[in-house]
Structure 1
Amino acid sequence: MGRLIAQRYRLEQRLGSGGMGVVWRATDEELRRTVALKRSHTADAEQIRREARVGARLTHPKVVTVHDVVVDGDDCWLVMEYVPSRSLDEVLGTDGPLTPAQVRRVGADLTDVLAAMHANGIVHRDIKPSNVLIAEDGTAMLSDLGIARWTEATVTGGAYHAGTPGYLAPEVAKGEEAGSAADVFSLGATLYAASTGDSPWGDGERGPFAQTRRAASYDLEPLAPAGELAEALGAFMREEPEQRPAAVRARQLISGDQPGEIDDQVTTGDGGRAGGGPRPAWWRRWRWSVPIVAAVAVAGLVAAVLMTGVLSRSPAAKAEPPGSLGDPRTADPCALLDPASLSRFGSVAMEPDYGNFNHCDVVVTPTDKSGAVDVALELQSPDEYPAQPPVRGRISQVQADPPEENRCQRTITLPNLYRVVIFARNVQEKPAPLCGAAEAVALATYGRLEQGPIPRRKPFAAGSTGDVDACATLSGPDVKAGLGAAATAEPDYGRWTCYWEHGDKQITVTFGREWPLEDDPPDGTRVNLDGHAGYVSTSKNDGHVDECDVTVVHRRYTPDPPTQRGTPRQREETVTVSLEAGGTNAGQSLCPTATTLARTVVRHLPAG
């Protein structure tokens, strides 16, 4: 049985994840119905609550229904309607552009939704093919209210905070706030893509910044490829917001209900009625054996990638193309970080020996009175359920994830679907230009990726955990003793982290680098494991221990090149063994088991 959330919702299957959280199919044991649960990412709880408030205010048959928001321990969960569906983005990628009749049907459904949203003072702000879901009965639905807002709210931030580059309205690309007219433009851009297969701002091969520049200068692709829909879509995508039709009029134009002059009834933010009716037979070919929750835009595209050995290299291989990762364990994340890209924000210092081996930091000390910023770059495994399907074989657009409190993130997908993730964090409790710093590094990193394959790092020192496979540190019997049952190892990037999971229990082994722990001991109890200093700590949920972490010092070393001024001269390689268990009966019994597992892991490490 899966984990029980808020003593009511039983998790059954992880369906996907995106910028706004992780989504599960679950059973409501109180009402005996299937629901979808979205768990917030770290520090996203307020964003989840805001999405719940927007969803509660909007009741419409073509918007995923929000039932509730619940708190379970440190996690915030959004409880939603479960709808088997597939994203329009995936439909286009699999089946190609839609026919004019199909586009009209999708457009009629979505303009119904916009009319209802705008009548309630709600602006979606991120309409795009991956947020359009086609249910099993053919209904087009709008998902992801994660950055939707009420029109009376005040939200700061540029275009990247309110939409996706390929579907931005010109005024949003220039930094203005997204209003109801911007939703109409983004819908027109989405329908243009549904009709032609491409964004009206180009195919994005040169990156999202090129698309944003085209949007800001209104360099629109020709409308002729949209055929009989060109006139209606041209009205949706007029340059001036006040010249675009309101949602009700937009429905008439796209559906052909009331043919007439397009100049009538420009955008006023008025409401509309819900449309609908029987669906024609062509919708029936869009039925699938594996349902996907409507809150998730994309299904597991990467599973096949992980099975095909995308990292294999032939000795006789030709020169690798731009952005090639090569062997994940030898790719150098620090080689992609350009400190000069942050020089306008203040003095810059590189910190290459902290965190996991796939991680590199730059610390910016501002010249003004704003707070210091830590900008980190990580190489990460493919996203199992990406928010937008990446294109194998080329460097993706830079994805601007929704900003969080004290964190702003950018993501670049590599040709083999692995990712470069850049995030900026506050070092001090002061205002800091987090998104400006993250975007500056993303631009510079994108340029370096286009120049060729990712450079190789220097070989690890003798005895380093950098050369160890975390999954090989525990045997089958060890895992069975820890979980109570056998489990398969699931490695993360570079095999420096490994997971074993069974039921509501999970073991994690992670290698990392820290400042000397003895100088600033972490919370918890100090232990000695075969001559290695260790620290045992627990976390609690509803007053009950549900996780025990054992962090052990493997070896101390002096970095080369030397560390930045003001930081310790030496670093420590550590291994952390975590044992998690759901429910309320785990108690302190987790720590003896976790300590035994940590002792076993240490015995598998090389002499430091």
Structure 2
Amino acid sequence: MSPRRHQGMLLLLLCWALLAGCTAQTSAPNGESRPVDTSARAMLGDLRTLDPCTLTDPAALQRYGAVADAGTVSLDYCLLHLKPDDRTLVQLAVGELAGPEDAEPGDPVVQHGALRIAQSAPAPGHCTRRVQFGDGTSLQVSADLLNGEPTVGLCGIADAGARTAADAVQQGRAGHRDHPPNSLALLDPCTVLDTSAVNQVPGLEEARPRAGTAGHQCSWGERSAEFPRVQLQHTAGEPPRILHGAAVEEQVDGRRTVLSVVGGDPQVPLCSAETAHIPFGAVPGQVEVAQLVVAMPGLTGTDACDYARGLARLAWPSLPPANP
């Protein structure tokens, strides 16, 4: 696995009852206020096709150093690199969406137009801001220190990125990618891998699918490293390749597949199975990728890869053909 790859109605009724911001107020021509729909879908459109890079503005980050496009590593977020000086490299990720269930209560929140920005407490080498929509969906902006001293102002960078994203959304500048009909971006991964197959994995007998907010991820199992879990993600970037000795290339259902113990240590019980799909974007060589990750705490990476291989054999036949 590439090291860079790194309810609805009830909620609306609750927001209406609490007057809590599922809508904002704007002035009508006659001076009366009227509600504005600030839900993620109303402001962003089809979440599956959102281009998160349209929510960034390198010029707004120039005061933090030279800004460069860090390339495509995901369908869900845009990656930028900033160099405040010759020894420091900061990575800014903009655009990953999370649902109300992922909210972090207690974080300070500031109003920014019709939206709000939540300020997570910084961690060493990391700072996150979340642009909050009226339906409880949030758009994450994270700054991470890749090289240099931890004194660099990561939260200032994250703040600038979040304000820029919120402005782009409210000014109607959220753009969308034009995916072909057989794109993985348009395919719900929860329909690709049958839950009954996942339930055959020890520890996941009662697991149910949990869909990602943008429709590009599906996961089964507890959100904890102590429990087994499976995730199928549709992503994009470089084609899968063998990066270390704990990875192999195989044909799985006729698709070239790279099975890899994450990190390269065979004792780490985490394995990915990745297969390339169709070309992605305008950069030559980039492709869409189906990535299946299996974690089996208490076992080995080899064991996890055995399960990943078996699940890939069941999932890959449900992927769309590369040439329909």
Give the Cα separation in 1 of the matches to 2:240 and 2:304. 23
Q: Which residue of 1 aligns with 2:257?
A: 533
Give the Cα separation in 2 of the matches to 1:537 and 1:303. 41
Amino acid at match of 1:369: D
Indicate if the aligned counterparts of 1:322 and 1:451 stay in contact, CA closer than 8 A.
no
Indicate if the aligned counterparts of 2:82 and 2:89 stay in contact, CA closer than 8 A.
yes
Report Cα offsets for 1:178-232 as digits up to 9, x if no partner. xxxxxxxxxxxxxxxxxxxxxxxxxxxxxxxxxxxxxxxxxxxxxxxxxxxxxxx
Structure 1 residue 305 and structure 2 residue 19: aligned?
Answer: no
Report Cα offsets for 1:469-489 as digits up to 9, x if no partner. 110111243222234625321
Q: Which residue of 1 aligns with 2:229?
A: 506
Q: Which residue of 1 aligns with 2:217?
A: 497
Structure 1 residue 570 and structure 2 residue 285: aligned?
Answer: yes
Equivalent position to 2:72, from 345, 350, 353: 353
Q: Which residue of 2 aligns with 1:128?
A: none
Query: Cα–Cα, structure 1 residues 532 and 376, in superposed 2: closer, same or farther, change >3 Å?
Result: same
Equivalent position to 1:379, from 88, 93, 96: 96
Shift of residue 419, structure 1, vs aligned partner: 0.8
Give unmatched runs, 5+ long, in structure 1: 1-300, 312-317, 563-568
Give the Cα separation in 2 of the matches to 1:433 and 1:588. 41
Give the Cα separation in 2 of the matches to 1:524 and 1:303. 47
Q: Which residue of 2 aligns with 1:363?
A: 81
Indicate if the aligned counterparts of 2:261 and 2:301 stay in contact, CA closer than 8 A.
no
- 1:428-577 alignment runs, 5 A limit: 428-430=147-149, 432-452=152-172, 455-483=174-202, 485-501=205-221, 504-518=227-241, 521=243, 524-528=246-250, 529=252, 530-537=254-261, 545-555=268-278, 557=279, 559-560=281-282, 562=283, 569-577=284-292
Larger Rg: 1
- SS of the equivalent of 1:481 reads coil
Indicate if the aligned counterparts of 1:482 and 1:507 stay in contact, CA closer than 8 A.
no
Equivalent position to 2:117, from 378, 398, 408: 398
Q: Which residue of 2 aligns with 1:335?
A: 54
Q: Which residue of 1 aligns with 2:26?
A: none
Indicate if the aligned counterparts of 2:239 and 2:289 stay in contact, CA closer than 8 A.
no
- SS of the equivalent of 1:386 reads coil
Shift of residue 327, structure 1, vs aligned partner: 2.7
What is the count of residue pairs matched by the alignment?
285
Query: Cα–Cα, structure 1 residues 429 and 306, in superposed 2: closer, same or farther, change >3 Å?
Result: farther
Give the Cα separation in 1 of the matches to 2:191 and 2:206. 15
- 1:190-229 alignment runs, 5 A limit: none
Amino acid at match of 1:305: L
Moved over 6 A (4+): none
Report Cα offsets for 1:418-465 as digits up to 9, x if no partner. 11111112233456442222222222223233334x624022135321
TM-score (norm 2): 0.73
Shift of residue 404, structure 1, vs aligned partner: 1.8
Structure 1 residue 601 and structure 2 residue 321: aligned?
Answer: no
Give the Cα separation in 2 of the matches to 1:462 and 1:302. 27
Shift of residue 319, structure 1, vs aligned partner: 8.4
- 1:111-122 alignment runs, 5 A limit: none
Indicate if the aligned counterparts of 1:509 and 1:575 stay in contact, CA closer than 8 A.
yes
Query: Cα–Cα, structure 1 residues 322 and 537, in superposed 2: closer, same or farther, change >3 Å?
Result: closer
Higher relative contact order (CA 8 A, sep 6+): 2
Shift of residue 498, structure 1, vs aligned partner: 0.6
Indicate if the aligned counterparts of 2:98 and 2:140 stay in contact, CA closer than 8 A.
no
Query: Cα–Cα, structure 1 residues 344 and 539, in superposed 2: closer, same or farther, change >3 Å?
Result: closer
Report Cα offsets for 1:243-277 as digits up to 9, x if no partner. xxxxxxxxxxxxxxxxxxxxxxxxxxxxxxxxxxx
- SS of the equivalent of 2:309 reads helix
Equivalent position to 2:142, from 404, 417, 423: 423
Query: Cα–Cα, structure 1 residues 579 and 499, in superposed 2: closer, same or farther, change >3 Å?
Result: same
Shift of residue 417, structure 1, vs aligned partner: 1.5
Equivalent position to 2:303, from 589, 599, 608: 589
Give the Cα separation in 1 of the matches to 2:123 and 2:255. 41
Give the Cα separation in 2 of the matches to 1:365 and 1:586. 39
Give the Cα separation in 1 of the matches to 2:316 and 2:170. 41
Amino acid at match of 1:400: Q
Query: Cα–Cα, structure 1 residues 443 and 606, in superposed 2: closer, same or farther, change >3 Å?
Result: same
Query: Cα–Cα, structure 1 residues 599 and 338, in superposed 2: closer, same or farther, change >3 Å?
Result: same
- SS of the equivalent of 1:372 reads strand
Give the Cα separation in 1 of the matches to 2:260 and 2:162. 37
Give the Cα separation in 2 of the matches to 1:587 and 1:548. 6
Give unmatched runs, 5+ long, in structure 2: 1-6, 17-21, 23-34
Give the Cα separation in 2 of the matches to 1:427 and 1:512. 22
Report Cα offsets for 1:327-346 as digits up to 9, x if no partner. 32133322211111112233
Q: Which residue of 2 aligns with 1:27?
A: none
Shift of residue 586, structure 1, vs aligned partner: 6.7
Shift of residue 491, structure 1, vs aligned partner: 0.5
Report Cα offsets for 1:489-529 as digits up to 9, x if no partner. 110122211112289432111122233443x7356221222
**Which has the larger share of helix?**
1
Report Cα offsets for 1:48-93 as digits up to 9, x if no partner. xxxxxxxxxxxxxxxxxxxxxxxxxxxxxxxxxxxxxxxxxxxxxx
TM-score (norm 1): 0.41
